[in-house]
Amino acid sequence: MQLPHNLVSCQWLAQHIDDGSLVVFDAGMSPAGSAKPYLAAAIIKGAQRFDFSNHLHDTTNPLPNMMPNAAFFTQAMQAMGVSQTSAVVVYDDQGIYSAARAWWMFKAMGFNNVAVLDGGLPAWLAQQGPVQSAYSSPLAQGNFIAQVQVGLFIDAAQVLNSVADENVMLLDARPANRFSGEQAEPRAGMRAGHIPHSKNLPYPDVIEHGFLRKTAELKALFGLRVPSHVQQLQFSCGSGVTACILALAASELGYTDLAVYDGSWSEWGQRVDLPIDTH
C-alpha cells in the first residue's frame, strides 16, 4: 500500500486500519523538562509505541533524542514488524507535535512510505476512531533495512559552516521569546539566544487546532522568512523534535533540500565555543 503523501487524514486511516501492510506508531512524548512519563489518553487500534526519547535514540550520546545509527534502527524496526513493503503512519497525542520527528527519522533512514496522522490522537478521538487500552505487539518480524540519507540530519559543524552562506537559511522552531533570549531555556545549563543569521518560525504558527495549516497559509509564513534565492533550508529547535514540524511543512510546500540540526539548542546552547545572537 502506497501512502498518499506526508500526511494522512483520520478518515483515510479509518478506512485502512485493518490493512496488513500498515504499521501504526504512537510517537508521543512528554514535554521538554518534564519528569513525568508519557501517558496517552488512548491508543489507536493496532498501534505500537515509538519512543525516541527513551528507546529509539543514540544511547551513547548525552544529548536528548539523538538519531541512532542505521544498525540500531534496522534491528529495532524489524523487531517492531516493519518491512520494506510496509506503510507506516505515525501520530502523537498533541495533534502534530513529536510525530513529525518519527516521520523524519524514517525519511533519514531511506524509508519514504511514511506519513503523519493529521490532527493526531485528538482528531481520531473526535471522530470516534477505534482505540485500545494497551500497545499492540508486532505480528511478525519485519525485513526493514535502513539506508542512511546523508544530509537529512546535520551536526553543529555543518550548521556553523552554513551560517554565512546566503544560499542556506536556518529556521528555528522555538517560541519567539526563547529565540530572542528573553526567556530561559527549559533545560538546565543552556545559554539563551539563537544561531546567528537564523530566523524564527515558532512551530505552533504552522499548526491550527492540531492540523497542519493550509498550503496558502504556509506559503505566506515561509515567504516572509525565506528569500527566493535560498537553496537549502535547515531547521533547529530545542532538541531536534519540533524542528521536524517545520521540515514537514516545508516538504508539503515542495521544498526538497531540507536538513534538521539533530543536536539543536540542546547542543548549541551549552557549547560556549559556538556563536549566539540575542536580538
Computed on alpha carbons and rounded to an integer, the radius of gyration of the chain in Å comes to 18
Rounded CA-CA distance 226/71 in Å is: 36
**What is the full DSSP assignment across 65-133?**
TPPPPHHHHHHHHHHTT--TT-EEEEE-SSSSSTHHHHHHHHHHTT---EEEETTHHHHHHHTT--EES
Cell of 233: 533550508
Annotated catalytic residue: which of 56, 168, 195, 237?
237
Residue 237 falls in the annotated catalytic set? yes
Tell me how far the alpha carbon of residue 1 is from its chain's centroid.
23
Contact 193, 174 (CB under 8 A): no
Comparing CA positions, the residue from 98, 147, 93 lying closest to residue 123 is: 93
Active site residues: 237
